[in-house]
Amino acid sequence: MIDVDVVVVGAGVTGLTAAVRLQQAGREVVVLEARDRVGGRLLTETVDGVRLEIGGQWVSPDQTALLAMAGELGLTTYPRYRDGDSVYIGRDGIRRTFRGDAFPVPEATAAEIKRVAEELDRLASRMDPLVPWEHPDAAHLDQMSFAAWLAAQTDDPEARDNIALYVGPAMLTKPPHTFSALSAVLMAASAGGFHHLLDADFILDRRIAGGLQEVPLRLAARLGDAVHLATPVGHVAWTPSGATVGDYRARHVVLAVPPTLVNRIQFTPALPPVQAQMRQHQSFGLVIKLHITYETPFWRSSGLSGTAFSPYALVHEAYDNTNEDLPADPRGILVGFVSDTKADALLELDAPTRREKVLESLAAYYGPQARHPVAYYESPWQADEWTAGAFGTSFDIGSLTRYGRHLRTPVGPLTFASSDVAGQGFQHVDGAIRMGEAVAGALLRN
Ligand code: FAD
């Protein structure tokens, strides 16, 4: 048995940030990671000769914890390509181009979108995303689905579908009837307001040169042989004063894994029942991130930015994802997303049919050239046993107020952290860094 101060389970950004901060303060730390790589939901990989960001990739200006960490690790950023017109396909099935963040919808619909968005901003401004259950309207908002809340706000279906898009398919990646209005407000508050979710130029502002996985790779390099890969943790034995994990005995264990995967670990003694109950009410959303590579970024020559949206299309959002940090590469890359029930339906099809459907959806935005890529890739997070969904986990209706206060409560020597339990930066890398630093700070004060 090897004695250490802290065992960290999981070498995602949360676990690696916690481990680096603890080690910098002189603590003896080991990180046990199930996969044969670090980074968890961040993976930058070359597939069919194209460098892809298979997991997370974008950074927004308010993600100051991530920007500071990138700076500390010597990483630089570059802006997402966005010059030109964006495309929107409306409820009438007509394709229209536009500039800015207001979709080209009928005037009355635009007014309704603005009004409902302002109401969401008002609700978010009264929420501390670390404690959403303390919102003045928490009980009421958590008891109704976001779809029901939207239906009560406006009779305009296209306004509802657009507002729903920003929180449902694009963020929590669940249908809006399956999560509460309070969870929707949390998503907005955690990103600094609903107006940020509406603004793709803000929320998807920049990328990290070399790919976002550089963050966990460089953190892990600092930890050296304290990181043990291919070491899944299946059992944790604990007492009030310490715990045993595999070959290690520690004063503290940080479980830096998504809540859904905490439930797969056996604890002796078992965790308090409320912990297991709570995590049965948290689940991953489902989104398929698609990378489609072309000989050139052909859409640019017809004046398009590559940005495209439609609540009514299979691919509900798409962007120019060309690797601007590799200027010698002439190829153009589009990234697109198929979410929640559309993803369920897509996954029922065989691979060639899926590809055909996705290319058909892209052709509706960019024209027939979109049907002829040189490479096509679907991120497979839902089939990966060490994630099993994307982008993150969220509560079902009513559970944020019922269980939220237990989210970050330690149990004896055990502490729980991941971007899924963050306030600011919830479900994002920024939140993972904030959680890692908060956990390390709490253990150092202990
Ligand atoms: P994880 O990255 O999930 O790390 C947990 C680690 O624990 C994993 O390495 C896992 O293998 C390991 N593990 C699990 N169980 C065990 C066990 N029993 N024993 C040992 N190890 C275990 N965020 C952004 O900020 N910007 C984006 O553009 C963005 N886009 C995304 C796109 C996709 C497709 C996905 C999937 C996510 C995206 N995200 C984005 C979210 C972001 O990637 C995550 O919020 C963040 O990386 C989570 O970090 P984490 O360390 O909390 O969890």
Q: How far is residue 285 from each of residues 43, 175, 288, 345, 374, measured CA to CA in Å?
A: 18, 9, 10, 14, 30
Q: Whose CA is nearest to atom 6 of ligand 1?
A: 10
Whether residue 405 lies inside any domain: the answer is no
The mean per-residue pLDDT over the stretch 139-150 comes to: 98
The mean per-residue pLDDT over the stretch 90-115 comes to: 95
The three-state secondary structure class of 281 is coil
pLDDT band at 231 (very low <50, low <70, confident <90, very high): very high
Residues 6+ apart with CB under 8 A from 446: 252
pLDDT computed for residue 102 by the predictor:
84
Separation CA 372–CA 370 (nearest Å): 5
Q: Is the CB of 255 under 6 A from ligand 1?
A: no
pLDDT computed for residue 100 by the predictor:
83
**Angle at CA of residue 171, ends 113 and 203, nearest 5°:** 75
Separation CA 201–CA 283 (nearest Å): 29
Is residue 136 located within the same domain as residue 189?
yes
Packing angle, helices 351-366 and 340-347, rounded to 10: 140
Q: How far is residue 76 from each of residues 17, 206, 322, 354, 378, measured CA to CA in Å?
A: 19, 10, 17, 36, 27
Of 220, 151, 142, residue with least CA distance to 184: 142
Separation CA 158–CA 444 (nearest Å): 51
Instruction: Say if residue 15's pLDDT is above 90.
Output: yes
Final residue of a domain: which of 365, 383, 401? 383
Q: What is the CATH number of the domain that holds 135?
A: 1.10.405.10
Q: What is the CATH number of the domain that holds 37?
A: 3.50.50.60
pLDDT computed for residue 446 by the predictor:
79
Tell me the whole-structure pTM to 2 decimals: 0.98
In the reported structure, the alpha carbon of residue 240 is separated from the centroid of ligand 1 by a whole-number distance in angstroms of 29
Is residue 106 located within the same domain as residue 189?
yes
Q: What is the CATH number of the domain that holds 306?
A: 3.90.660.10
Final residue of a domain: which of 198, 231, 261? 198
Whether residue 64 lies inside any domain: the answer is no
- Atom number of ligand 1 nearest to Cα 430: 25
Compute CA 122 distance to the chain's CA centroid, rounded to the nearest angstrom. Answer: 24
Range of the domain at 245: 2-42+213-271+411-445
Whether residue 406 lies inside any domain: the answer is no
pLDDT, one tens digit per residue, over 166-201 is 999 999 999 999 999 999 999 999 999 999 999 988
Q: Is the CB of 299 under 6 A from ligand 1?
A: no
Whether residue 189 lies inside any domain: the answer is yes
Is residue 247 located within the same domain as residue 184?
no
The mean per-residue pLDDT over the stretch 277-288 comes to: 98
Separation CA 98–CA 373 (nearest Å): 25
Q: Is the CB of 424 under 6 A from ligand 1?
A: no
Is residue 107 located within the same domain as residue 178?
yes
Whether residue 97 lies inside any domain: the answer is no
In the reported structure, the alpha carbon of residue 1 is separated from the centroid of ligand 1 by a whole-number distance in angstroms of 30
Percent of all residues in the chain with a pLDDT value above 90, rounded to a whole number: 98
Whether residue 71 lies inside any domain: the answer is no
Final residue of a domain: which of 363, 383, 403? 383
Instruction: Say if residue 128's pLDDT is above 90.
Output: yes
Is residue 244 located within the same domain as residue 296?
no
Q: Give the burial class of 119: count Cβ atoms within 10 A of its Cβ; 0-12 exposed, 13-18 middle, 19 or more buried.
A: middle
pLDDT computed for residue 101 by the predictor:
78
In the reported structure, the alpha carbon of residue 88 is separated from the centroid of ligand 1 by a whole-number distance in angstroms of 31
pLDDT band at 49 (very low <50, low <70, confident <90, very high): very high
Q: Quick check: 68 and 214 in contact, CB under 8 A?
A: no
Q: Is the CB of 14 under 6 A from ligand 1?
A: yes
pLDDT computed for residue 307 by the predictor:
97
Is residue 368 located within the same domain as residue 417?
no
Is residue 217 located within the same domain as residue 159?
no
Instruction: Say if residue 437's pLDDT is above 90.
Output: yes
Q: Quick check: 37 and 220 in contact, CB under 8 A?
A: no
**How many helices and strands, by DSSP H and E, does the chain display?**
17, 22
Q: Whose CA is nearest to atom 24 of ligand 1?
A: 428
Whether residue 68 lies inside any domain: the answer is no
Is residue 246 located within the same domain as residue 166?
no
In the reported structure, the alpha carbon of residue 299 is separated from the centroid of ligand 1 by a whole-number distance in angstroms of 32
The mean per-residue pLDDT over the stretch 411-439 comes to: 98
The preferred substitution site among 267, 385, 419 for testing ligand 1, maximizing ligand atoms within 8 Å of CB, is: 419
Q: Quick check: 408 and 256 in contact, CB under 8 A?
A: no
pLDDT, one tens digit per residue, over 56-94 is 999 999 999 999 999 999 999 999 999 999 999 999 999
Percent of all residues in the chain with a pLDDT value above 70, rounded to a whole number: 100
Q: Is the CB of 386 under 6 A from ligand 1?
A: yes
How many domains are contained in the chain?
Answer: 3
The mean per-residue pLDDT over the stretch 229-246 comes to: 98
Cis bond before residue 269 (omega within 30° of 0): yes
Q: Quick check: 230 and 35 in contact, CB under 8 A?
A: yes
Instruction: Say if residue 219's pLDDT is above 90.
Output: yes
Is residue 430 located within the same domain as residue 358?
no
| Bridge-based pairing state of the strands 266-268 and 235-239 | parallel
In the reported structure, the alpha carbon of residue 42 is separated from the centroid of ligand 1 by a whole-number distance in angstroms of 6
Is residue 36 located within the same domain as residue 52?
no
Length of the chain in terms of residues written: 446
Q: How many CA atoms lie within 13 A of 17 on its CB side?
A: 28
Task: Name the maximum alpha-carbon separation found in the chain.
Answer: 69
Is residue 295 located within the same domain as residue 377?
yes
Written as one letter, the residue type at 262 is: V
Write the DSSP symbol of residue 60: -
The preferred substitution site among 257, 291, 377 for testing ligand 1, maximizing ligand atoms within 8 Å of CB, is: 257
Q: Whose CA is nearest to atom 39 of ligand 1?
A: 56
| Bridge-based pairing state of the strands 235-239 and 2-9 | unpaired
Residues 6+ apart with CB under 8 A from 24: none
Termini Cα distance of the chain: 24
pLDDT, one tens digit per residue, over 344-392 is 999 999 999 999 999 999 999 999 999 999 999 999 999 999 999 999 9
Q: Which is more confidently placed, 317 or 199?
A: 317
Is residue 377 located within the same domain as residue 302?
yes
Whether residue 277 lies inside any domain: the answer is no
| Bridge-based pairing state of the strands 332-339 and 317-320 | antiparallel
